[in-house]
Amino acid sequence: MFARLQKDRRRLLGLALLIYILPFILHNPYYLTVLNLSALNILTVCGLTLLIGYAGQISLGHAGFWALGAYGSALLSLHTGWSPWITTLLALLGTIGLAALMGVTILRLRGNYLVMATLAFNLAVYFFLVEAEDLTGGPPGLPGIPPYKLGPLVLASDLAAYFLIWTVLLLILFLTFNLVHSSEGRALKALAASETAAACLGINPHWYKVLAFVLSAAYASLAGSFYAHYLSFISPKTFDIFFSVELVAMSLFGGRGSIWGAVLGAGTLTPLPHLLSFFDEYRDLIYGALLMGVLIFFPQGLMGLLERVLRSKSSGLKS
Amino acid sequence: MGEILKLQTVSKSFGGVKALRGVSFSLEDGEILGLIGPNGAGKTTLINVISGLLKEDQGHILFEGHSLKGLSPWQRAALGLARTFQHIQVFADLTVLENVLCGLHRQRKTSFWAHFLRLPAAVAEEKDFESRAYQALALVGLKEKASWEAETLPYGEQKKVVLARSLVSNPRLLLLDEPAGGLNERETEELGQILLKLKTKGMTLLLVEHDLNLVMNICDRVVVLNQGEVIAMGSPLEIQKNNRVLEAYLGK
Ligand SMILES: Nc1ncnc2c1ncn2[C@@H]1O[C@H](COP(=O)(O)OP(=O)(O)OP(=O)(O)O)[C@@H](O)[C@H]1O
Ligand SMILES: [Mg+2]
């Protein structure tokens, strides 16, 4: 157990080094923007992986939680003048409360009600953002969202946001690895493997499903808040159900049930459309084909593929 | 020290099928009780009712003197009522050690936050659990394979993992649904030895099994179920001589 945690911590250290060196090599702010968006997607997909790969539940509404974090924190800071740090925290707590309420009621039911309920939730949030123009600014969006500040430092530039967002992400990845390599993570995996067998070991299925759901919503809310205060402008279009579907696709593409899979999935699929812009009108086609190809031929996703390659290199030895 | 589990006229039907008809018997503290009967007799149904996966239509179940009515499976497990399954096996995606560690879940004293932040209390508990899990693996003879992916083990060893997982927390009562199913002769022999060891540790066992040799060798008493009814109860010797049992098995 400790060995696995140590291994993931070493990998995380490697990622951190790479992340903190990269800005000194890349000077194009456009790359930084793409990397920042990647980090926010990784954060959200990381939470989704806890829900999908660990607790065995699917949500098609996480763009809705992202919107709660984004609009919640943006509106609070605009109307009250409070620091974005405080409003991020308040939006997070609000999202956690709502997700807990949803989870406790919906996850009691057997079957795929969560998919329907989260879909409906996402639609409701979306239409609210579009319709409640006086509050949210409606379809044109909400401009002028204040950035985070650290003392006299205003974290508004792409570079400042890069260090802020990636540091938060690395910290949360660190905590998430703690979690998945603990009895909590095992209980979630057991639940995904067999709810009945898990329950007969004293694992409360309802509690753990709600926990995973609330955690995943919390991660999405955080990503939303950072998104809003980073770009200073948000509009409802970003938070439609297609974004929710994209997030689930990223989780599956990277490798369901693996936190590194979440990093890989969101870390490759977020920049991919930008890289493919070269292909112009074939972009979406190539993107879709790649996604389908991996999901069909490698059900364990990129992470499964990578592990297979690594394993065959180390002559089939198991660690 | 008296009865650990008491069944009082427990009945259960599936539509028209009466799987259990007024089943009553008790388990004495520290004994191995065999539960045998032909296919479809209702043995698995009875275990499902005791562990809370199915709700009985009628009757009462007392565990250490307390009624289990209204308790869900995880609550019953938390009280020290463990079980294995005839079919459901190891947790995929987890190693052998992690599978066994899942069995200690009911004895956890730390919170979510302790694990998320990896506080000293959580680390200490993990260490303690790990050494206990290794003990359970040693008992079933799988210590060397602790870090294997449980799914990749041969069938017989997967059954041992499941057994270790269900006994690692020292439950008061362990319900075993055909633990020898699919095992070869040597493995069955080993299983018998393990179960006898559990008995000396003070665990009470309910053993559902088709391997009558195993049942007659290690059980203190045997209950025979046929078409949902208890048709005989007694020592292994008495059961072997019982005419109704012979009829039920040989089909008149
Ligand atoms: N979920 C269910 N729905 C409908 N009928 C069921 C269900 N479970 C069991 N039965 C029926 O109840 C009866 C008892 O089944 P049970 O599985 O308890 O038998 P068993 O003694 O465990 O048999 P075996 O030795 O084959 O495992 C059978 O007639 C079976 O078909
Ligand atoms: Mg059965």
Please tell me what DSSP assigns to residue B34. E
Tell me the average pLDDT across A148-170. 92
Residue of B13, B17, B206, B229 best suited for mutating to test ligand 1, as the one with most atoms within 8 Å of CB: B17
Tell me the average pLDDT across B222-251. 87
Which pLDDT score, from 0 to 100, does residue B251 have? Answer: 64
The reply to whether A140 falls in a domain is yes
The pair of structure tokens assigned to A45 is: 């997909």
Which pLDDT score, from 0 to 100, does residue A317 have? Answer: 47
Tell me the average pLDDT across B119-144. 96
Tokens 């059961």 locate to: B239
Kindly indicate the confidence band of residue A153, based on its pLDDT and cuts at 50, 70 and 90.
confident
* CATH code of the domain in which A249 resides: 1.10.3470
Tell me the average pLDDT across A94-114. 90
The pair of structure tokens assigned to B201 is: 């540790």
Q: What is the ipTM of this complex?
A: 0.92
Interface check for B77 against chain A (CB to CB < 8 A): the answer is: yes
Hey, is A236 helix, strand or coil?
helix
Please tell me what DSSP assigns to residue B232. E
- pLDDT of B164-208, one tens digit each? 999 999 999 999 999 998 899 999 999 999 999 999 999 999 999
Kindly indicate the confidence band of residue A319, based on its pLDDT and cuts at 50, 70 and 90.
very low
Tell me the average pLDDT across B205-229. 94
The reply to whether A222 falls in a domain is yes
Backbone angles phi, psi at A198, to 5 degrees: -65, -45
Chain B contact probe: residue of A201, A208, A256 with most B CBs at under 10 A: A201
- pLDDT of A12-36, one tens digit each? 999 999 999 999 998 888 899 999 9
Backbone angles phi, psi at A157, to 5 degrees: -70, 165
- pLDDT of B66-80, one tens digit each? 999 999 999 999 999
Q: Quick check: A95 and A68 in contact, CB under 8 A?
A: yes
The reply to whether A249 falls in a domain is yes
Tell me the average pLDDT across A274-289. 80
Residues 6+ apart with CB under 8 A from A144: A78, A232, A233
Total count of domains within chain A: 1
The reply to whether A20 falls in a domain is yes
- Percent of chain A topping pLDDT 70: 97
| CA proximity to B194, closest of B221, B167, B212 | B167
The reply to whether A283 falls in a domain is no
The reply to whether A11 falls in a domain is yes
Dihedral, B245, B247, B251, B252 alpha carbons, nearest 10: -170
Query: Which pTM value belongs to this model?
Result: 0.92
Residues of B in contact with A211 (CB under 8 A): 112
For residues A187 and A236, give the distance between their C-alpha atoms in angstroms, rounded to a whole number.
Answer: 37
The reply to whether A198 falls in a domain is yes
End-to-end CA distance of chain B: 40
Q: Is A223 exposed, middle or buried (0-12, 13-18, 19+ CB in 10 A)?
A: buried
Tell me the average pLDDT across B126-139. 96
The reply to whether A27 falls in a domain is yes
- What domain range is A130 assigned to? 2-253
Residue A109, sorted as left (phi over 0), alpha (psi -120 to 50) or beta, turns out to be beta
